[in-house]
Structure 1
């Protein structure tokens, strides 16, 4: 596949095929400029308070100074951040980056096993951890590389009460963010000379072995993806005017990239810490009156199910972004009727910073596709033999562009499998192009399950289940679910003589897996369908489900 397929669409929509990069060589320099330009404007906000660009500048500089002088970090050291959408997140993120370090995002819902693997694999020197996750962290502090633990509460950073309610008694010598900021304010930060190729994020993503892999995203990767987004949505980035409402966790690359993009134009970003609290969520939307909103299909559907959503004034809303999982046409239609904007869908992965394709602003209706490849990106659809798929036929989506990761962290074998001989990244997703060059995701070559926009890999679930002594073998598949898009379903064969039941196995799985990965449904069967060589056939199991 070549760019010629969507070239005519580019021309008709007024899209320039190549991105225009700014003068910044690092994301830090781009954000530094925003901090100065929009100093008096609110950068991040929650119902209880806000953080201006000037305050974000001061607090993140203090944190960077502490990391450099107290912890002795060096350029390229990895720092883990395990925080939900609270005001401390941008302070910690920017402080880590201004110290020249690599940010390693960690989900606060991780189990001990998941967190231990990530901290060990990345050799993290420190971790900033949410107060509600310290019990998990306390069980994995055997990692000798982890020199410091900084606990973070819900309060406004720098206000003197950000450590209230911390549950860190199980962690010896843990510090509080407020202590770090107070000490850092007395220290001098040394600006770090960063290059475009320096690592910015290690964004961990699931793998077929069940162990997550760190996608190495550089400053150049994120700067390119930001420029690509700006190229297709130019009028949706009014300097100093945009207001976001972010309910997707910032540790997710989708929310992180969009938030960083809007930071560069001085937007105010309202953070939703708990989108499951629908009443609180709606109150926030009433107060924020966002011009930009992003979510996964289940988030939009969940809001639309709330009668109180009619209380929100959506007259300010100009853009609704969908990603993480396919947006259903019915949901977009209902959202359009409620808000006046349809859901504009895109496609991406952690490995691509994340945006590969998007429905540009010149498209004025829901397309049931993920739009055109963003400028500077080439997409090929390959068949099972590695050849270009026939016109209109499905094929594995393979991507080349400046937003594609450098590779997986310390995974040479995985990297060899992830890229074609001519440098295209194999996404594992199956897609088709229509006549206009709009990309539609039709299936996943990998057996990944998407639950409310979060990836669940069957091998990881199967590996955890197989640790139970009463289980002989199992297979995990995704099944359609009205609420979460897909739900995890596990088919199990008991060992002879075992009386294993669903409740017991679910309890076992919760010890190893985050809640969204635990199977919603467990089915016990006498045997699993297999190929002639004994390979379990998931496609046959899906037919049973």
Structure 2
């Protein structure tokens, strides 16, 4: 660690990076030779049984699909676009694209199936000009395709082909006979070859195509294997639902299984009250030795772990590590996971969090030691250079290294804005030392530097800390919160409810009750008022005292850019769209629906 006179701090791991391959699919060749019969991918078919592929079977199908893709004259200027969610066929096509040196872009199904205007999907197609689009069901995606399908692109479907397009069916093209062209294309791949484009939304809400090179993917997996050393001792077994159109699911998790010769069971469950049942079903059949989820997923899982003996025993039987990411893990969920593990297998299972972004491939920081509370992001991974720059009252973190993206596809202005004059990526977050006198204790996430604001008194409000406190105090009834108060006298909050959880507070409502009916129900309002008062008793001053709050009567809207497809809230978009509600927080006397915090 070194420090400049202006307070800027530079940090780099003292360890030396390990060797890594030139392409992530080299690992597919490696394991197909070393452990050809070992299970790699598994997905449930329509009968409910597992359809499985060994490493050798996967490689054979990948090479056949690579030949098909080569015959379509695809390139980085005409890449593959995957609109469907996780599936065995999605995984095979993604690997085939990279094997042939053709970039692909997995896109959130929400852009096709939830959006009503297809604006984001149209923007993506205009930006990438795809030469081939894959969907699992032509009929299901027909409206989206009609809105965005390029005239010269080919359509690939699992079922229900559409006659109005040049259309192929997956079961037919997977039989393509590979030729020397596959080896020739694969041989041209370098570390700088674009493997994929992953989309991330900024404050404007329109997706940017983050370039992911082979170097990024391979170096990142080397970093992970270096940090999580037990991956070198036994192949990972994973049951995972995280979407592959995001870096956590598609790069981090899928990559761990591929890079380390592991088994990846595709979980079609979701971290929702209904979706969690499929996850429970899968975990009752497969014991993972490493498990990843978002905090809401662990929150949903805890209840079933307490009630289901088979699930407890299968889940913890071989488990070495649990990791969460995407948001802070509530302490009560953390405590429950540790207690259930101790009651089931006689010991706690290590819980860690990672830190990074789409632009960092994503792994950048992690703890490699047991911690007893949420919030720690650990130390930077081997091979990364870290720069901490004083910004207001915080230390803004910037990163540089082989796992960092070279930029955004066809958006040189956005690329230029995202790097400083020393080439460090501006991730936009702040970190703070757990112990300024002992760097070995790592760092704590300290929020987004662009989200913090000052009250009219000049007092800084640190948004991340308050949002975490709201999530913990109101759990499990809150989804997220947007804070207000820029140049005002006090902090306010617009609260998005978890309407499914809130429905349990008002069982007298009919099953088809609207979100407004739930949010305005007296029992729900009373409970949120109670939680707001409890939150007030924990405050230590105006910087963290939420004086007023409104429970919003509708979920955040995807088309209005209020929420990303992965569920994270776009603070700026919410404040803009719901400006009338913000105004109500600062109106005297307070309108109906505004809750006022009481400390006593």
The TM-score range, normalised by the shorter chain, is: 0.7 to 0.9
Report Cα offsets for 1:511-542 as digits up to 9, x if no partner. Answer: 56677479999867387499xxxxxxxxxx99
Equivalent position to 1:252, from 241, 246, 269: 246
Structure 1 residues 207 and 228: alpha-carbon distance in aligned structure 2, compared to 1, 3 A threshold: same
Determine the structure 1 residue equivalent to 2:319.
317
CA contact (8 A) 1:302 1:483 kept: no
DSSP 3-state at the match of 2:391: coil
* CA–CA separation in structure 2 for the residues paired with 1:3 and 1:524: 43
Determine the structure 1 residue equivalent to 2:543.
none
Report Cα offsets for 1:198-247 as digits up to 9, x if no partner. Answer: 111211111222211111111111111111111111123434x4211112
* CA–CA separation in structure 1 for the residues paired with 2:581 and 2:349: 50
* CA–CA separation in structure 2 for the residues paired with 1:39 and 1:423: 42
CA contact (8 A) 1:352 1:405 kept: yes
Check if 1:443 corresponds to 2:442: no
Which residues in structure 2 correspond to 1:294-305 (within 5 Å)?
A: 294-305=292-303
Structure 1 residues 178 and 409: alpha-carbon distance in aligned structure 2, compared to 1, 3 A threshold: same
Which residues in structure 2 correspond to 1:190-229 (within 5 Å)?
A: 190-191=182-183, 192=185, 193-229=188-224
Check if 1:37 corresponds to 2:34: yes
Larger Rg: 2
Report Cα offsets for 1:388-443 as digits up to 9, x if no partner. Answer: xxxxx622211112111011112222122211111111111122122243121121
DSSP 3-state at the match of 1:185: coil
Which residues in structure 2 correspond to 1:475-486 (within 5 Å)?
A: 480=471, 482-483=475-476, 486=479
Structure 1 residues 426 and 542: alpha-carbon distance in aligned structure 2, compared to 1, 3 A threshold: farther
Q: Could you tell me how far 1:128 is from its partner in structure 2? A: 1.3
* CA–CA separation in structure 1 for the residues paired with 2:478 and 2:219: 30
Structure 1 residues 378 and 330: alpha-carbon distance in aligned structure 2, compared to 1, 3 A threshold: farther
Determine the structure 2 residue equivalent to 1:19.
17
Which residues in structure 2 correspond to 1:332-347 (within 5 Å)?
A: 332-339=334-341, 340-347=348-355
DSSP 3-state at the match of 1:305: helix
CA contact (8 A) 2:350 2:370 kept: no
Determine the structure 2 residue equivalent to 1:414.
414
Determine the structure 2 residue equivalent to 1:173.
166
Q: Could you tell me how far 1:169 is from its partner in structure 2? A: 4.6
* CA–CA separation in structure 2 for the residues paired with 1:324 and 1:529: 30
DSSP 3-state at the match of 2:57: helix
Which residues in structure 2 correspond to 1:139-538 (within 5 Å)?
A: 139-144=146-151, 147-152=153-158, 163=159, 166=160, 169=162, 172-182=165-175, 184-185=176-177, 189-191=181-183, 192=185, 193-239=188-234, 241-256=235-250, 257-275=252-270, 276=272, 277-306=275-304, 307-312=306-311, 313=314, 314-339=316-341, 340-360=348-368, 362-363=369-370, 365-366=372-373, 368-384=375-391, 394-435=394-435, 436-437=438-439, 438-447=442-451, 480=471, 482-483=475-476, 486-487=479-480, 509=557, 516=567, 525=580, 528=583
DSSP 3-state at the match of 2:239: strand
Report Cα offsets for 1:487-530 as digits up to 9, x if no partner. Answer: 36698xxxxxxxxx989x97995656677479999867387499
* CA–CA separation in structure 1 for the residues paired with 2:2 and 2:403: 18
Q: Could you tell me how far 1:278 is from its partner in structure 2? A: 2.3
Structure 1 residues 75 and 411: alpha-carbon distance in aligned structure 2, compared to 1, 3 A threshold: closer
Q: Could you tell me how far 1:55 is from its partner in structure 2? A: 1.5
* CA–CA separation in structure 2 for the residues paired with 1:124 and 1:508: 30
Structure 1 residues 77 and 206: alpha-carbon distance in aligned structure 2, compared to 1, 3 A threshold: same
- Which protein, 1 or 2, shows the higher relative CO under an 8 Å CA cutoff with sep ≥ 6? 1
Q: Could you tell me how far 1:57 is from its partner in structure 2? A: 0.9
* CA–CA separation in structure 1 for the residues paired with 2:581 and 2:299: 37
Q: Could you tell me how far 1:327 is from its partner in structure 2? A: 2.5
Structure 1 residues 368 and 100: alpha-carbon distance in aligned structure 2, compared to 1, 3 A threshold: same
Q: More displaced, 507-516 or 420-429?
A: 507-516
Structure 1 residues 150 and 382: alpha-carbon distance in aligned structure 2, compared to 1, 3 A threshold: same
Q: TM-score, normalised by structure 2?
A: 0.69
5+ long unaligned stretches in structure 2: 342-347, 453-468, 483-492, 495-514, 518-552, 586-593
Structure 1 residues 527 and 347: alpha-carbon distance in aligned structure 2, compared to 1, 3 A threshold: closer
CA contact (8 A) 1:242 1:266 kept: yes
Structure 1 residues 138 and 41: alpha-carbon distance in aligned structure 2, compared to 1, 3 A threshold: same
Q: More displaced, 187-196 or 252-261?
A: 187-196
Q: Could you tell me how far 1:187 is from its partner in structure 2? A: 5.7
* CA–CA separation in structure 2 for the residues paired with 1:59 and 1:208: 40
Equivalent residue pairs, number: 466
Which residues in structure 2 correspond to 1:8-157 (within 5 Å)?
A: 17-22=15-20, 24-47=21-44, 48=49, 49-69=51-71, 71-74=72-75, 77-110=78-111, 111=115, 112-131=118-137, 133-144=140-151, 147-152=153-158
CA contact (8 A) 2:28 2:59 kept: no
DSSP 3-state at the match of 2:428: strand
DSSP 3-state at the match of 1:422: coil
Q: Could you tell me how far 1:76 is from its partner in structure 2? A: 6.6
DSSP 3-state at the match of 2:142: helix
* CA–CA separation in structure 2 for the residues paired with 1:92 and 1:123: 18
* CA–CA separation in structure 1 for the residues paired with 2:134 and 2:403: 27
Structure 1 residues 97 and 229: alpha-carbon distance in aligned structure 2, compared to 1, 3 A threshold: same
Report Cα offsets for 1:297-318 as digits up to 9, x if no partner. Answer: 1111110022444322212111
Report Cα offsets for 1:356-391 as digits up to 9, x if no partner. Answer: 10011x446556301101111122222237xxxxxx
Report Cα offsets for 1:73-110 as digits up to 9, x if no partner. Answer: 24674211223222112211111111211121201111
DSSP 3-state at the match of 2:147: coil
Q: More displaced, 505-514 or 37-46?
A: 505-514
Structure 1 residues 237 and 366: alpha-carbon distance in aligned structure 2, compared to 1, 3 A threshold: farther
